[in-house]
Every structure is written in C-alpha cells, then in structure tokens.
Amino acid sequence: MSDEVDAVVERVRERVTPGDDERAELQAVADRLTERGEDAIASLPVDAHVVRVGSTARGTWTAGDRDLDLFVCFPPELDREELEEYGLSVGHAVLPAGHEEYAEHPYVKGTVDGYDVDLVPCYDVADAASIQSAVDRTPFHTRYLAERLDETLAADVRVCKQFMKAIGVYGSDLRTEGFSGYLTELLVLEHDGFRPLVEAAAAWTPPVEFDPADHGRESFDDPLVVIDPTDPERNVAAVLSTEQLATFQHYARELAAEPRTDLFEPSESEPVDAETVRAWFERRGTTPVAVRFDAPDLVDDQLWPQLERSLSGVTDALNRRGFDVLRSAAFADETAVLLAELEVAERPAVERHEGPPVHVRDHAEGFYETYADSDATGPYVDGDRYVVERDREFATASAFLRSDALSNVALGTHVASALESEYEVLVGEEVAPLAGEFGVELADYVDPKP
Amino acid sequence: MSDEVDAVVERVRERVTPGDDERAELQAVADRLTERGEDAIASLPVDAHVVRVGSTARGTWTAGDRDLDLFVCFPPELDREELEEYGLSVGHAVLPAGHEEYAEHPYVKGTVDGYDVDLVPCYDVADAASIQSAVDRTPFHTRYLAERLDETLAADVRVCKQFMKAIGVYGSDLRTEGFSGYLTELLVLEHDGFRPLVEAAAAWTPPVEFDPADHGRESFDDPLVVIDPTDPERNVAAVLSTEQLATFQHYARELAAEPRTDLFEPSESEPVDAETVRAWFERRGTTPVAVRFDAPDLVDDQLWPQLERSLSGVTDALNRRGFDVLRSAAFADETAVLLAELEVAERPAVERHEGPPVHVRDHAEGFYETYADSDATGPYVDGDRYVVERDREFATASAFLRSDALSNVALGTHVASALESEYEVLVGEEVAPLAGEFGVELADYVDPKP
C-alpha cells in the first residue's frame, strides 16, 4: 500500500515539477520585469525596490502555472495616496499593455510572454506585525518559506497543490473557502512532506492547531488553525471552511485506500441538458424552485459571500414556512440563480398557531379576544396553551418567493438591489432550462461528490 | 359585574338544588335499601354495616341526579375472598334485579325506583392511611365533608359541579381527566364558596397546591395538587390533566367577563354530516387519514388511555416521517378511530440522511463505504458530515399506515391486538363517511371549543 502511494506521488511529482526550460524562461521574464521596475523606480522621488513573491518566487509553482507576482516595496512613511500613485506608475512602466485592478490598493495587471503578471505596491515594514495593509505581509511569507523549503519539500508542495486543486479545495478566495498557497506550504513544511501531511490529515479531529513558530497567543474558533509564523495574531487557515477541511480529509483517506493518479487530475463535469435535469427532479419527487436575476457586477470575492448569504436567507425562510428544503445551491454567470429543492412545495390553507399558556392571564386574555370572533378555528386548549388554526400567509413556496415578503429575507446587499429591480421565479419543470447557462453546475448538483 | 355573576349563580343554584320532594324520595329509597342491606348482613357469620357515601350522602348532588352509592363495611381482618363473597351476597339481596360489575372488587349495580344504585363492599379500616383497597377511602371522604359542608356550601358545590359538567371538565374517569366530585367539594370548601373559587382559579399559575388538613409531606408533579385531608400521601387532583385545568381557568374568566347561565348548561353538539366534513377538510387543504378498527371490548377507563396512547404513538410516527400532523383525535363507539389531519400527505421518493462527521474516522469510513456504490445520491460533505439522499421508506402516510411498520409504533396493548386482526385506513374524502358513526365527535373536531 505504502509503495503504491509513493509510486502515485512520484508520478504526479514528475508531472508537476517544472522542467529546466520552464524555470529558465520564467527566471528570464522575471528578471527582465524586475529590471524594468527598478528603472522606473529610479525616476521616482522615493526609495523603493522590487521583490518577487508568490509560488514562482518560492519555487513551488506547478508546471504550466504562469503567474508572476512582483511587489514594489515603498518606505512605510510614504502616505497612501503617493504609494498608490507611484505604485501605478511603476506598474504601467513594467506592463505598458496592462490595466488597473483594485484589491487593497490599485495595482496593475498584464500579460507578458504568456505570463499573467501582477505588479502590486506595498509598504516595506520592519516585521509582519507592523503591516499597514494586508499585502505588506506577503514578502515576509516568501522570505520565511524561501529559507525553509528545499527542493524536496518544494516538490511535495507542488504535489499537494495539485491534489488540492483536483479535489476542489485549493484557493482562499471566498467562493472556494479552501487552502491558500501559503497555508499549503506551511502544512507541508510542518509535516515534512506531502505524504506525512495527508496521513496526518486523514486522522485529524478538528479543531486542529499548528504553531510553527511557537508564538501563538490568541485562540481561534476555526476548524484548522495554523498560526502565521510571521504574525502571531493571524490564523493562516481562517478562510478554510469546515466543509473543505472535511473534503480534504475524505480524499486524504481515499488516497491511502485506493492510490491513483486521477485523484490529482482536476476534471470539470460534463454539462447536463434540460431533459436530464427535468427527469432527475421528477424521479426524486421533489419540487425545485429558483430565483433568477441579473448577476450583480462584482468581483467573485464580493459576489460569492453575498450569494451564499442570500441562499441561506432564502432557504431559512422557506424552511420556516414549511417548504422543507432538501438541498440548495447558488449559481452565477451572466445571471445568478438561487436554487432550492423542496420536499414540500405546498402547505394547507391553514396553519397551527400557538398562543400563550392559559394561566398567563394578560397575554392569554388578549390572545383569546383577538381570535375568538375571527375566522380562525379555535381558540381551543392544547396542553396548557390556547391554539388557533388560522389562514396561512403563503400556501405555496412560489407565492412566497414572488411576494414582497422575499425582501424581508436576509439577503446580500447587492443581491437585494438586484431583486428590487427584477427577478423571475422558476418552479418545477421551469427550472430545467437553466441547464443552458448552468449545465456544469447542474451536473455537479445532480451528482454531488465529497 | 359582581352583581351579575351573583345573579347568574343564584339562578343556577335554584335550578340545581333538589326540592324537598326529591330529597324525601331519595331519603326513603336510601333508608329502604340500607335496611335491606342490614337484614342481609344479619344472616352473615361476620359483623358489618351499611354506609351511604357519595354526593347523595353528602347532600351535594345536583337536582335530577339519580345515583345512590351504598358501601358495606366489613372488618379489616376478613380475607379478600370472603369480603367479595359476602359483599356480593348482600348486593344481590339489596338489588335482586342487579348485575355484577368489577372495579377494585366485584360489586352489584342495579336500578331501584329510577335510581342507579351501586352496592360496594369495603374494609372498615381505622383511618384512611390504612386502607386495604382504594374504595375503603370513600367513607372517610364522606365523613370529612359531612362534618364541614353546611347547606350554603353544599349549594355552592352543586353550582360548581353543574358548571364543570357544562364545560366538560367534570369527572375523574380516564377519558375526561377532570375534577372528581370529592375534589370539587374540597375546592369549594377550601375557597369557602363557588364564586371565590372561580375568581381564584381565573388567576391561578400552576402548579397550584392546597393542603386543607395541613399535613402534606410529599411533593407531586401535577398542575393542581390538593392533599387529601384523610390521607397525607394522596393528591386528590392526580387525574386532572393540564388541559382540563386550563379549560376550567378559561371558563372561570369567561364567567367573570360575560356572566350567563348558558355557561352552566351542558350541550351536545349537533352531529355533522359527511358532506360537511368533506368540505371542511377540502377548504383547509389538509389531508385527513384515519385508522379504523373494532373497538376493543374494554370499560372506558381502560379503553381511553389505550386510545390516547395509540393516537400519540401514531401521530409521533407520522411526524417523524414528515407527514406533519396538524391535529388529531380518537373516537370510539362500535368501531374505534385514530384520526390525524396531515399538513403533508406525501413526501419525495428520497430523503436526506445525515452520516457521521467526516473526522470520526471509523464511523465515517463505514458510512462512506455503505453508500458509495449504492443507488443513493452522494455521499457528499455538508458542514463536517457525510450526507446521502436515499430512497425514503414511505412516500405517503397511507403507505406507512397500511404497512407492517405500524405495528412498531407504541400502541396500547388491546389496540395493538385489534389492529393485528384487522383495520382499515381511510384517506382524504374516505374519512368523511365517519360522520355516520361519529357525527357529534366530528362536529366538535371541526369547531373545537376551549
């Protein structure tokens, strides 16, 4: 067994290790861009320098990755406006065909010889605890790892990243909520290799905590805690969700149980068509309902938390009203969709409504007077309480979703405004044609994997 | 307001107080039967005597009531067999046309001059704490109250019983679970009248405790506790249910809010017909289901607890399986019926089934292996757990009720055997014709009162 895992890992390692040509080419491009940056800095009225960060700087990129991250480090005294102005001017000098994007600061992004290059300004602070903006931390990470990752460990980092990509847990963006590159590198380093890491992970009982620099002081309420060796107050795994951690554990065991290289091969599902979707829901006897609207124009890191919040607001509201949600999902492309698969699409015209205990005299008398002469059935006494059966506000899930009551649901701000302008509600078979825009997403929905 | 209540009570009091003729006639019958009893005792090889007990002995019966209870008190040394033999012989001598019934002991029941007469043997024990059978307590109750209830209070007891009968809370049988005659008398005595009792009851916050003889030692887990003045270890109100206490409180307030004599007039609902029942369920959009079987041949005090237990077993099982019960009821006559009104009569073909947390390795691996190659959808990871969507055992409530699974439900013993031999399941409109046998019960179901 052990040999089989080693053999699989070895095969993957060969595949993801960049060859000498790739390394040399990347080095050449990076050197050229760094030089251009330094030239541009020379004409500025301020001292600064260019550093390479990220996986290409640490030698932990997987073969074929073409991301180059260059940071321009400015003195910490520089005010923010100047930093941004100088940062952009260096950026445009290095990447004349680039365009500006905005994260913590504006920065310049462009393509050079097939490489996706980011040119980001940051403050050159004394240590990671004194950072003035989140990106200031990055050079410290690169330095910490560069000192500790030899080529053997770097190779294992590449294998680990490949594994995480294939099983869908790689990336600390707010849609994936998975493992960042830095987190992956720290974990491989901490366990001294990919194989010991997955063997340990297979047996983890969260919360699991690592503190490589042994300087943690705070406690974190996260399933995985890895104290940043360059900043004792930060959990590097803060973004990782419980679900993605469990998924990683699942596949760590799967690798041990049935070692095979396809666990390292990302694959996108074949899209399903409308008829497949229709037949699938029909066979299950559930009722899918979908709220569809124009996707808000936001970057993924803003969009997805809003979609998730909205989806959970809608499913909570559906559940509270008795339209029991079996499963739900959010999709986004040109349009965005909140999909809920209902066990119960229709409730009776009446609902049971419990009043106060009869012995709580003031409340009880008020409740009784309210309902005694109403159309409600009752009040009658059940246990120690008054109960009535009164008209239900919404007998169908679609009536609720089409009503103004939807706006009282906890939604993301931009989703709320999108819904205010226009949305459609699809019920039952009307959901099936969503396969046109979301065939891959629906393929994953009808055949969910760990 | 106060005057109005007094006026109502006064009118009721006049109506329920037996006239001189009724009293004299009852006295004459009681004397004659007592004499017959003493004569029969004289020919026995044991000392014994006849005592009158119950409301007619205490002067608290309501006009028109025709119950006469005579107890034959035997020495406590007598063994049980002899007590039963002698008791029956006296019974048959007093009531030659009577028949035997069985409670704690066998006893003789018969009709004399239009009076329902019970002739019950008991042990003449020294005090209520030394009783050998439950009925031995009764003469002590009669003696305790006879010494304390004057005619004014006796009149208030009659008014109170009339009120309780009208609102359906009078009777300590296990169907009614209401107020016994003795309990009613103790409460009127304790509060020094009907009016003060209902005024107090309107404001009670259960648990409420009274201890007229100030000798209680135990604590009881009942909503109303009245320590028996003849037995410190007994709660006279042990049978009273939370619901019936709340109902009494409700009508006590109703009497104060809108004093009127019809609160003292028992009325049976007009039976509804099948079409009314059908239309009523249709309007509500609920699905009634009924299990109907031959009523077990049991006395009410055995039958009703079993029906209630069975009803709660069936509704619990329906709720667990997602067929949400809005309200339920049991009926019994020639046949017995367990009726449940469902909000959801059908569920999807699949159900969500949560597995263990992924990190609980042994369980998690077992669960994953069980379902990975099955027809179930999943396993996928939700939160920290594996989840599958597998075939549901019963998609409809009727399929469940018609299946063997019904026999795994907690049912009363005799109900279980009745169902083993034969039962039918009625669904939706099929329930409506029950109005033929249970028109009054269904009238109360469609228009429930406090």
- Inter-chain CB proximity B385 and A246 less than 8 Å: yes
Residue B288 in 3-state DSSP?
A: strand
Which residue, among A229, A225, A224, has the nearest Cα to A213 in the 3D structure? A229
- Inter-chain CB proximity B447 and A347 less than 8 Å: no
Which residues of B, range 364-383, sit inside 8 Å of A by Cβ? 364-365, 368, 377-383
- For residue B23, pLDDT beyond 90: yes
pLDDT in tens, A10-45: 999 999 999 999 999 999 999 999 999 999 999 999
Beta strands in B265-398 (DSSP E): 287-294, 325-332, 335-342, 350-357, 377-382, 385-391
From chain B, the residues in CB contact with A286 under 8 A are 348, 350
Q: Between A and B, how many residue pairs show a Cβ–Cβ distance under 8 A?
A: 137
- For residue B254, pLDDT beyond 70: yes
- CATH 3.30.70.590 residue ranges for chain B: 274-346+395-446
From chain B, the residues in CB contact with A206 under 8 A are 359, 384
Nearest to A448 among B202, B344, B380 (CB): B380
- Inter-chain CB proximity A358 and B389 less than 8 Å: no
Nearest-by-CA chain A residue for B352: A326
pLDDT in tens, A274-327: 999 999 999 999 999 999 999 999 989 899 999 999 999 999 999 999 999 999
- For residue A84, pLDDT beyond 80: yes
pLDDT band at B3 (very low <50, low <70, confident <90, very high): confident
- Any bridge partners for residue B450, and if so which? none
pLDDT band at A419 (very low <50, low <70, confident <90, very high): very high
Long-range contacts at A228-231 (CB < 8 A, ≥ 24 apart)? A228/A128, A228/A137, A228/A141, A229/A144, A229/A186, A230/A127, A230/A128, A230/A137, A230/A140, A230/A141, A230/A144, A231/A128, A231/A129, A231/A131, A231/A137, A231/A140
Instruction: Taking the CA atoms of B190, B193, B196 and B201 in sequence, report the sign of the dihedral they define.
Output: positive
| Cβ A407 vs Cβ A416: under 8 Å | yes
CATH topology assigned to domain B18-142? Beta Polymerase; domain 2 (3.30.460)
CB atoms inside a 10 Å sphere around CB B335: 16
CB proximity B242 to A under 8 Å: yes
- Give the minimum alpha-carbon distance from A392 to chain B in angstroms, rounded to a whole number: 10
Question: Average model confidence (pLDDT) for chain A?
Answer: 94
CB proximity B352 to A under 8 Å: yes
pLDDT band at B127 (very low <50, low <70, confident <90, very high): confident
Nearest to B380 among A205, A395, A450 (CB): A450
pLDDT in tens, B141-158: 999 999 999 999 999 999
**Which of B277, B325, B384, B388 to mutate against chain A (most A CBs within 10 Å)?**
B384
Q: Output the CATH code of domain A274-346+395-446.
A: 3.30.70.590
Nearest to A358 among B246, B346, B358 (CB): B246
- Give the minimum alpha-carbon distance from A201 to chain B in angstroms, rounded to a whole number: 9
- Inter-chain CB proximity B358 and A249 less than 8 Å: yes
- The pLDDT value given to residue B2: 64
- Averaged pLDDT, A219-223: 95
- Averaged pLDDT, B136-140: 90
- Give the minimum alpha-carbon distance from A360 to chain B in angstroms, rounded to a whole number: 7
**Residue B373 marked ligand-binding:** no
Q: What does the DSSP 8-state code read for residue B263?
A: G
CB proximity A281 to B under 8 Å: no
- The pLDDT value given to residue B428: 97
- Superfamily of structural domain A18-146: Beta Polymerase, domain 2 (3.30.460.10)
From chain A, the residues in CB contact with B348 under 8 A are 284-286, 326, 343
- Inter-chain CB proximity A350 and B286 less than 8 Å: yes
pLDDT band at B134 (very low <50, low <70, confident <90, very high): confident
- Encoded tokens for A426: 């699809």
- For residue B104, pLDDT beyond 90: no
- Inter-chain CB proximity B205 and A359 less than 8 Å: yes
Q: What are phi and psi of A170, to 5 degrees?
A: -95, 125
- The pLDDT value given to residue B131: 87
From chain B, the residues in CB contact with A319 under 8 A are none
- Encoded tokens for B421: 């031999």
- The pLDDT value given to residue A328: 98
**Residue B109 marked ligand-binding:** no
From chain A, the residues in CB contact with B361 under 8 A are 202-203, 253
- Inter-chain CB proximity A377 and B447 less than 8 Å: yes
| Cβ B384 vs Cβ A246: under 8 Å | yes
- Give the minimum alpha-carbon distance from B362 to chain A in angstroms, rounded to a whole number: 10
- Inter-chain CB proximity A359 and B285 less than 8 Å: no
pLDDT in tens, A364-410: 999 999 999 999 999 999 999 999 999 999 999 999 999 999 988 88
Q: B181-191 and B194-201 helices cross at what angle (nearest 10)?
A: 90
The interface predicted TM-score of the complex, written ipTM, equals 0.92
CATH topology assigned to domain B151-264? Poly(a)-polymerase, middle domain (1.10.1410)
Residues 6+ apart with CB under 8 A from A423: A291, A292, A293
From chain B, the residues in CB contact with A386 under 8 A are 450
- Give the minimum alpha-carbon distance from B77 to chain A in angstroms, rounded to a whole number: 45
Question: Average model confidence (pLDDT) for chain B?
Answer: 94
From chain A, the residues in CB contact with B243 under 8 A are 381-384
CB proximity A320 to B under 8 Å: no
- CATH 1.10.1410.30 residue ranges for chain B: 151-264
pLDDT band at B218 (very low <50, low <70, confident <90, very high): confident
| Cβ A10 vs Cβ A3: under 8 Å | no
- CATH 3.30.460.10 residue ranges for chain A: 18-146
CB proximity A448 to B under 8 Å: yes
- The pLDDT value given to residue A2: 64
pLDDT in tens, B46-81: 999 999 998 888 889 999 988 999 999 999 999 999
| Cβ A321 vs Cβ B295: under 8 Å | no
pLDDT in tens, A120-139: 999 999 888 888 888 899 99
- Give the minimum alpha-carbon distance from A268 to chain B in angstroms, rounded to a whole number: 17
- Give the minimum alpha-carbon distance from A90 to chain B in angstroms, rounded to a whole number: 45
Strand B350-357 to strand B385-391: parallel, antiparallel, or no bridges (unpaired)? antiparallel
- Encoded tokens for B79: 């063994």
CB proximity A391 to B under 8 Å: no
Residues 6+ apart with CB under 8 A from B45: none
- The pLDDT value given to residue B322: 95
Nearest-by-CA chain A residue for B204: A359
Q: A181-191 and A151-167 helices cross at what angle (nearest 10)?
A: 130
- Inter-chain CB proximity A326 and B350 less than 8 Å: yes
Nearest to A359 among B206, B243, B385 (CB): B206
Residue B376 in 3-state DSSP?
A: coil
Q: What does the DSSP 8-state code read for residue B321?
A: T
- CATH 3.30.460.10 residue ranges for chain B: 18-142
- Inter-chain CB proximity B348 and A285 less than 8 Å: yes
Helix H, strand E, coil C: the string for chain A is CHHHHHHHHHHHHHHHCCCHHHHHHHHHHHHHHHHHHHHHHHCCCCCCEEEEEHHHHHCCCCCCCCEEEEEEEECCCCCHHHHHHHHHHHHHHHCCCCEEEECCCEEEEEEECCEEEEEEEEECCCCHHHCCCHHHHHHHHHHHHHCCCCHHHHHHHHHHHHHHHHHCCECCCCCCCCECHHHHHHHHHHHCCHHHHHHHHCCCCCCEEECCCCCCCCCCCCCEEEEECCEEEEECCCCCCHHHHHHHHHHHHHHHHCCCHHHHCCCCCCCCCHHHHHHHHHHHCCEEEEEEEECCCCCHHHHHHHHHHHHHHHHHHHHHCCCCEEEEEEEECCEEEEEEEECCCECCCEEEEEEEECCCHHHHHHHHHHHHCCCCEEEEEECCEEEEEEECCCCEHHHHHHCHHHHHCCCCHHHHHHHHHCCEEEEHHHHHHHHHHHHHHHHHHHCCCC
Cα–Cα distance measured from residue A217 to residue A405, given in angstroms and rounded to the nearest whole number: 46
**Which of A242, A280, A365, A375 to mutate against chain B (most B CBs within 10 Å)?**
A242
Which residues of B, range 184-223, sit inside 8 Å of A by Cβ? 202-206, 223
Q: What does the DSSP 8-state code read for residue B440?
A: H
- For residue B183, pLDDT beyond 70: yes
pLDDT in tens, A95-119: 999 999 887 789 999 999 999 999 9
| Cβ B46 vs Cβ B15: under 8 Å | no
Residues 6+ apart with CB under 8 A from A23: none
